[in-house]
Amino acid sequence: MLNQPINQLRQKLGSKFIPLILVLFALILSGLMFTSVRQKSVNFKEGQVASESIRANKTIENKTETEQKRKLASEAVTPEYTYQPELAETQHDRVSQLIDLIQKTNSELDKNYQSKVSQAKDGEAVPQPTADERVAAVKKNFETINQDDVSFYQQLPDGFYQLAVQMSSQQLDQIESSSLKLIDEQMEKRIRESDVASYKQQANDKIEEQGLNEEQNQLVRYLIEDGIVVNDLLNEKRTADLKEQASNSVQPVMIYQGEVIVREGSQIDANAFNKLQLLGLTSSGGSVFPLVAMILATLLQGVVLWFYSRQFDVEFQRIRFILFYSASMIFSVVLMKFLQVFQSTTTSNLALFFPAAFIPLILTVFVNRRAGSIAAVFQTVFALFVYYAAIGTNMLTIILMTYMFSGVLAVMVKQKRVTDQARQALLWLVVFPFMWNIVLNVYQGLAFTNSQTWGTFICAAAGALLSFLLGTGLQPYIELLVTDNGVITLNELSNPNHPLLKQLLEEAPGTYHHSMMVANLSANAVAEIGGRSLLTRVACYYHDIGKIRHANFFVENLPPGAENPHNFLLPEDSKQIIFGHVIEGAKILEEYKMPKMVIDICYQHHGTTLMKFFYMKAKERNPEITEAEFRYPGPKPQTREAGVVNIADSCEAAVRAMDHPSIEKITNFVHDLIEERISDGQLDDSGLTLKEIRIVEKSLVSSLSSTFHSRIKYPKMQSEAEKMKEEQERGER
């Protein structure tokens, strides 16, 4: 268990501890991956004569030539256009409707004005409608028009409306006639986006021929500007589809592994040199970009870890997460590096032996799902650098996608022991990743008759199975390092030969028996609600360990016939002794370096409940005594397990002391006690739901009834036995 050494080191380094861990972590990872991204220097240059034949070291697509061919094929496609002749009629109707609307509005305003003039008193002046009022009235009538037409009218500037409403009906008719003539003439043609300005200009050039004044000409220009629109539209989707079809029809230009790029004695021309660059056989030897990228990725991981660690409320949890993550990721990279050392072009499948789900799995189980997700992502990122030599090959795609898929699915496993969810874990860790590997091979068109394909399947299955086996086999030992309540630790603490349990048995046998009974009751109830049953059982073994200090002051340890020593003490003194078993017990457990959960349950198993008996006795002597003085120091139960122990402890002690306990009496007592604890707020912080409390109640009643209830007497048992004996004797005759 590393908690104590970590605490000591943290206290020495203070606030520098986490930064030092992250820096050391980054240096170790960089050192491990350095040899993978370091490129060997080569001397190939364009124009150089090859001293030996240069072959491709991997199969890779020549993407530059492929893209060039696809671009040429795409550019050769003729664009598709869609002609919409009905737009001519639509634009005609819109212009005509607008002029009619302006005339109608002017007419209504003029009639209204004449009506007001005729009704005005002598000498009363009636103002004529202004241009702004007329424009507003026109736009008010837009509410009754189709929305598409309104959008067209709104494109016209305010200057158009200001000028149009001041025209007479005859002038508007002339404007309508001229503009429609010019618009219709152009809209009969096929107008494309590139030509629309030209057609508008042709219409504008003929305005002067219409014989209108300058203001009318200006209105016609406005109408032409918005009235002549594109009616031969580019069918972008159809054109894009045709280009895509043409592009997709071009087969990729491939460079195949083993292909001769330059023959011995031949000159390295520009085409060959480009291929060498693509394969990483030339200037890539001096490139620092892979190394820089690896360092940046490592730094990015450090930033992500630091930022995520801030979400932990307790500093020790933050430090433990970073240490655990760092150690896990170093183990992951070391294992990848080990496989990469033995990997070659003939054994490229070896990388799939890597248990990609293992590290995300253990981080999910021991920290949380988000930590597992971070590990799954960065594990794949670092695999890119570890297997850098395989860049450009199909195998790298399978490796990276397999690692990512396996890591992400490992996060889906429940946060409990793998052995307790073996079937589901097999699906998430083995079956689904193997099926994904089949998908990847099918996607890349690898033949199932090819031995290399089956080699890939076998390696992938072996790697997935290894993740499951490591998760199952190493989990108990990892618990020893990162937690203080692992299965191995708890099994050791549950051994009756443990010094504390032996001391409890010798000095307080009644308390020992009580603790064993409470352990059975609590563990069974906690198991029913899906809690930590073994941890609860062990905590119950030690929850009353403080009673060894004053064993005879607790009634269960008194010999038969002995008088209760509390009869000779004041209630206040008795209270201190009873309270002391909680505080003293926690101190003893801390001295023995017990798991924190065990110590917490010792503190919380009485919560802040009232010591009623001694409180009532004290109340008789001093009415000023308050309940607060006779309540346990607490705190209240903070976990579901502590809440169950709180109930089970009181139930066992009470039922043990009950005269002639029956199932009905036990049931009523347990129910009343639980209701009392709920109303007293003792379970408020435990996290127990009402449904879980009812499950716990049912479990406790069942266990207590089977242990303590009075046996039913059968008065006819003797007569029935004698009758059976007589029948047997008659049968033998």
Residue 480 has pLDDT above 90, yes or no: no
Sign of the C-alpha dihedral computed for residues 602, 318, 419 and 495 taken in this order: negative
Answer yes or no: are the C-beta atoms of 178 and 151 closer than 8 Å: no
Does domain 497-708 fall under CATH 1.10.3210? My reply is yes
Task: Determine how β-strand 54-55 pairs with β-strand 260-262.
Answer: antiparallel
- What are the residues facing 255 on neighbouring strands? 60
Give the phi and the psi of residue 631 in degrees, each rounded to 5. -100, 145
Answer yes or no: are the C-beta atoms of 220 and 207 closer than 8 Å: yes
pLDDT, tens digit, 9 for 90 and up, residues 631-657:
888 899 999 999 999 999 999 988 888
Q: State which amino acid sits at residue 723.
A: K
In the chain, the percentage of residues whose pLDDT exceeds 90 is 21
- Residue 476 CA: distances (Å) to CA of 251, 291, 418, 419, 482: 54, 38, 10, 10, 10
Q: Predicted confidence band at 117 (pLDDT cuts at 50, 70, 90)?
A: confident
- Distance, CA of 355 to chain centre: 22
Residue scoring higher pLDDT (670 or 289): 670
pLDDT, tens digit, 9 for 90 and up, residues 241-263:
888 888 888 888 887 665 677 87
Residue 729 has pLDDT above 60, yes or no: no
pLDDT, tens digit, 9 for 90 and up, residues 279-320:
767 654 556 778 888 899 999 999 999 888 888 877 777 888
Residue 272 has pLDDT above 50, yes or no: yes
pLDDT at 716: 45
Answer yes or no: are the C-beta atoms of 325 and 312 closer than 8 Å: no
Residue 468 gets which letter from DSSP? H
Q: Predicted confidence band at 667 (pLDDT cuts at 50, 70, 90)?
A: very high
Give the start-to-end residue ranges of the domains of the chain: 3-37+287-482, 47-62+254-280, 81-234, 497-708
Give CA–CA dist 457/459, Å, rounded.
Answer: 6
Answer yes or no: are the C-beta atoms of 602 and 645 closer than 8 Å: no
Residue the block writes with tokens 């995300």:
360
Quote the mean pLDDT of the chain: 83
- Greatest mean pLDDT among 472-476, 508-512, 551-555 lies in 508-512
Residue 44 has pLDDT above 60, yes or no: yes
Q: For 35-55, what is the mean pLDDT?
A: 71
Interior angle at CA 291, CA 290 and CA 294, nearest 5: 85
Instruction: Name residues whose C-beta falls within 8 Å of residue 610's C-beta, 6 or more positions apart in sequence.
Output: 627, 630, 631, 680
- Residue 211 CA: distances (Å) to CA of 91, 153, 168, 171, 179: 23, 25, 16, 12, 12
Question: For the whole prediction, is pTM greater than 0.85?
Answer: no
| Token output for 470 | 């490591």
- Residue 308 CA: distances (Å) to CA of 155, 329, 357, 367, 459: 53, 16, 21, 12, 34
- What are the residues facing 55 on neighbouring strands? 260
Task: For 9-23, give one letter per residue: b (16+ CB within 10 A) or e.
Answer: ebeeeeeebbeebbe
Q: State which amino acid sits at residue 577.
A: I
Residue scoring higher pLDDT (164 or 395): 164
pLDDT at 520: 94
- Residue 451 CA: distances (Å) to CA of 454, 455, 457: 5, 6, 10
Nearest to residue 456, comparing CAs of 447, 191, 134, 566? 447
- Distance, CA of 336 to chain centre: 26
- Greatest mean pLDDT among 86-90, 330-334, 557-561 lies in 330-334
pLDDT at 109: 84
Q: For 672-676, what is the mean pLDDT?
A: 93
pLDDT at 721: 45
pLDDT at 7: 61
Determine the 3-state secondary structure of 83 from DSSP.
strand
Q: State which amino acid sits at residue 651.
A: C
Residue 569 gets which letter from DSSP? S
Give the number of other CB atoms < 10 A from CB of residue 145. 15
Give CA–CA dist 441/445, Å, rounded.
Answer: 6
Pick the range with the lowest mean pLDDT from 30-44, 510-524, 532-546, 614-628: 30-44
Q: For 535-544, what is the mean pLDDT?
A: 92
Residue scoring higher pLDDT (434 or 571): 434
Answer yes or no: are the C-beta atoms of 396 and 387 closer than 8 Å: yes
Interior angle at CA 495, CA 490 and CA 500, nearest 5: 95
pLDDT, tens digit, 9 for 90 and up, residues 341-393:
876 545 667 888 899 999 999 999 888 899 999 999 999 999 988 887 666 56
Q: Predicted confidence band at 516 (pLDDT cuts at 50, 70, 90)?
A: very high
- Distance, CA of 717 to chain centre: 66
pLDDT, tens digit, 9 for 90 and up, residues 69-112:
888 888 888 888 888 888 888 888 888 888 888 888 888 888 88
pLDDT at 6: 60
Q: State which amino acid sits at residue 466.
A: L
pLDDT at 557: 74
